[in-house]
Amino acid sequence: MEIDKAIKESDDRRLITKYNNAIYVIQRALSLYKFEEVAFSFNGGKDSTVLLHLLRAGYFLHIGKSEYTNGNPANCNMKCTIRTIYFETPSAFPEINSFTHETAATYGLQMETIRLDFKSGLEALLKEKPTKAIFLGTRIGDPNAVGQEQFSPSSPGWPPFMRVNPILDWSYRDIWAFLLACKIQYCSLYDKGDIWAFLLACKIQYCSLYDKGYTSIGSIYDTVPNSLLCTSDSSSNKGHFKPAYLLADGRLERAGRAKRYFPLASEGGLVASNGPNSVESRQNNTLTASVITLGDEILFGFVEDKVGFSLLKKLHSIGWTTSQVSFVRNDIDSVAEVVEKQKSANDMVFIIGGVGSLASDVSVAGVAKAFGVRLAPDEEFEEYLRHAIADHCMGHRNEMARLPEGITELLHHESLQLPLIKCQNVVILSATNLTELDNEWNCLLGLASSGSAVTFLTPFVSKHLSTTLTDVETAQPLSKLCLEFPDVYVGGYRKSRVGSLIISFVGKDSLRVELAVQAFCQRFSPGSFYEVNCG
């Protein structure tokens, strides 16, 4: 098989290792699922082109093995007629479209073109034909790769199938090393020092857009050539471009892809820029927060969430209103789901827990997923980590230095060993106990003046009355009072079913709170209430 031969003959040990691992994943998938129940998701992009050739090689080796065990020699001309799905849209580049169809014809793929969005298309596909697993060219740097492994079940809410990602751990360099290596025999005829001769010689079959300055390809509306490949000084995208494989820093692969842009506070984004109506909220002296606590141990009932409770009190003390408290499992999708909802419904979201290098530490990944961005190495944070955990920050601990790309702001403070991570209006607190929370909170307040952390609002004033009156007696006057004093929170709660009822009046204007208390008490005989201290 030409692919297997070209890779084995290359002296690129790293590529050989990546290749062997990918082939192993493909062979496992082909052993686990029936051939007619697997599909290949092919979009003509460079990653899926690599995957196509890996699948051809993997299929050949897989069949070869079983043929061999049956006593038959492997058939070298055998084609990998894998079911192939392509989601075709009018917004795709014509070059990508034609490359996809031509390649499918060249390699005898069983092409199924789907003209629906991914989710609906997959639902229809699964209804029509049993499909247990789908091969994807997703790589770890892709925004949608967050939390995925080589075998990852489709996300909750998606039709059920296994996503198989054989090249998940491949870098940009690996992709091009593979594409180039598989045609390397032609290059030996030419002077490798002459890049143009090299280019002409290496008639690598990949979409022509990769020679026009594109390094990652989305739709015609959100993709431009990568300016880092432009050979002229002009930043206009009309210049000449080096081929995609000459991009020096693979982390900038998506520089030509439009980002979902979220302004950083330092770029003029307001502290609570994603809040529902932040400017008015501030003018009205009301900002809302949502607190999300991570921890299977809390959900099991093993541990009490004292840190979250303390944070609620702290938020209240600076005049913020907490709209919701959520407890979520240590699971990226669960975190992402809650963060996604809460970040747009609140001025600020605070996440407690899930920070560190354990497999259960998924806060950062969950936030990245909620914003639809990838995790990328953050040199500044890595430097802090190096100081904080010295030489322990090798290996998997380096994962801690991967932060949501393009939306992360590091909040430094001299009292913090590591800066706090803020992604737009989401702040990740690493405190595990009350002392640590006090420290992080004080730092946030200390940073308030720089505009990158929480803002002080007029604090709340509250009064609490205790009474032995029944709910029935107090309910109607309370409802009327709420209408008369919409700017004062009025509510009741019990400490026990038979004990006294506590009625709270909370607001920002002490006079209005006092007036509400008086208006309420006047509706009952004197001595019905006495003031108590709460919280």
Ligand X SMILES: Nc1ncnc2c1ncn2[C@@H]1O[C@H](COP(=O)(O)OP(=O)(O)OP(=O)(O)O)[C@@H](O)[C@H]1O
Ligand Y SMILES: Cc1cc2nc3c(=O)[nH]c(=O)nc-3n(C[C@H](O)[C@H](O)[C@H](O)COP(=O)(O)O)c2cc1C
- List residues near ligand Y by CB under 6 A: 41, 118, 122, 134, 136, 142, 144, 154-155, 158, 163, 218
| Beta strands, E only, 382-488 | 402-404, 408-411, 420-423, 426-429, 461-467
User: Amino acid identity of 254?
Assistant: R
By CB under 6 A, tell whether 217 contacts ligand X.
yes
**Residue 42 or residue 320: which is nearer to ligand Y going by CB?**
42
Between 137 and 404, name the residue whose CB sits nearer to ligand X: 137
Q: CA dist 323 to 7, 237, 341, 435, 489, Å?
A: 57, 46, 12, 25, 13
Closest approach, Cβ 139 to Mg ion, in A, equals 6
47 binds Mg ion (CB under 5 A): yes
CB 374, min distance to Mg ion, A: 10
CA distance 430 to 141: 25
Q: What's the rounded Cα separation, in Å, for the pair 179 and 277?
A: 49
Residue 10 contact, options ligand X, Mg ion, ligand Y, none, Cβ 5-8 Å cut-off depending on partner type: none
Cα separation, 457 vs 348, whole angstroms: 14
Closest Cα to residue 353, out of 307, 318, 388? 307
Residue among 4 and 47 whose Cβ is closer to ligand Y: 47
Give which of ligand X, ligand Y, Mg ion, none residue 154 binds (C-beta under 5 to 8 Å, depending on kind). ligand Y
Any alpha helices (H) in 129-259, and if so which ranges?
Answer: 172-181, 184-187, 195-201
Q: How far apart are CA 235 and CA 255, in angstroms?
A: 13
Q: Which is nearer to Mg ion, 47 or 337 (CB)?
A: 47
- List the structure tokens of 91: 């917004």
Amino acid code (one letter) for 63? I
Q: Give the interface segment with ligand X, choosing from 134-142, 228-236, 303-311, 486-494 (CB under 6 A).
A: 134-142
150 binds ligand X (CB under 6 A): no
Smallest gap, in angstroms, from Cβ of residue 58 to ligand X?
15
Q: Does 137 bind ligand X (CB under 6 A)?
A: yes
Report in angstroms how near the CB of residue 137 gets to ligand X at its nearest: 2
Q: How many residues are listed for the chain in this entry? A: 535
Considering CB distances under 5 to 8 angstroms, the limit depending on partner class, which of ligand X, ligand Y, Mg ion, none binds residue 455? Answer: none
Tell me whether residue 122 or residue 421 sits nearer to ligand Y (CB atom): 122
What does R_g of the chain's alpha carbons equal in angstroms? 30
Residue 503's CB is within 10 A of a number of other CB atoms, namely 24
What phi-psi label fits residue 181: left (phi over 0), alpha (psi between -120 and 50 degrees) or beta? alpha
Q: How far is the CB of 155 from ligand Y (least distance, A)?
A: 3
List the one residue from 55, 82, 136, 426 that touches ligand X (CB under 6 A). Answer: 136
Q: In 3D, which of 440, 413, 407 has the Cα closest to residue 426?
A: 407
Partner whose footprint covers residue 369, from Mg ion, ligand Y, ligand X, none (CB < 5 to 8 Å by kind): none
* Residue type at position 446: G
Contact residue for ligand X among 97, 103, 216, 293 (CB under 6 A): 216
Is residue 143 a contact residue for ligand X (CB under 6 A)?
A: no
Q: Is 295 in the site for ligand X (CB under 6 A)?
A: no
- 229-248: string of b/e by CB count within 10 Å (b at 16+)? bbeeeeeeeeeebbbbbebe
Contact stretch for ligand X (CB under 6 A) within 130-138, 276-284, 326-334, 442-450: 130-138
Nearest residue relative to ligand X (C-beta): 45
Site residues (CB under 6 A) for ligand X, limited to 220-249? none
Could you list the residues that contact Mg ion (CB under 5 A)? 47
Could you list the residues that contact ligand X (CB under 6 A)? 41-43, 45-48, 85-87, 136-138, 142, 216-217
